Amino acid sequence: MDPQAAKLIGAGIAMCGMIGAGIGVGNIFGNFLAGALRNPSAAASQIGNLFVGAALAEALGILAFVMGILIWIS
């Protein structure tokens, strides 16, 4: 295989890490919504935790994204 093509395919495959981030962020927001509907009065105080959790889960997806970019431009 052409090394250039292999590199580009590798960069694309590296993006699979984003799948996990998507599942994680979806899980966090879904569970937050489920909890918030059960007890709406407690929901407002947990918004900060919600976004921190989403940011931490998302960071791992971003690492995959950066990896893909690094492979692509290297």
Helix 3-14 and helix 47-73: axis angle, to 10°? 180
Return the closest-CA partner of residue 68 out of 2, 29, 1, 19.
Answer: 19
CB of 1 to another protein, least distance (A): 25
Identity of the residue, 1 or 41, whose beta carbon is nearer to another protein in the bound complex: 41
Identity of the residue, 9 or 62, whose beta carbon is nearer to another protein in the bound complex: 62
Task: Report the interface residues with another protein, using CB under 8 A.
Answer: 48, 51-52, 55, 58-59, 62-63, 65-66, 69
3-state secondary structure (DSSP) of residue 16: coil
Greatest alpha-carbon span in the chain:
59
Identity of the residue, 13 or 69, whose beta carbon is nearer to another protein in the bound complex: 69
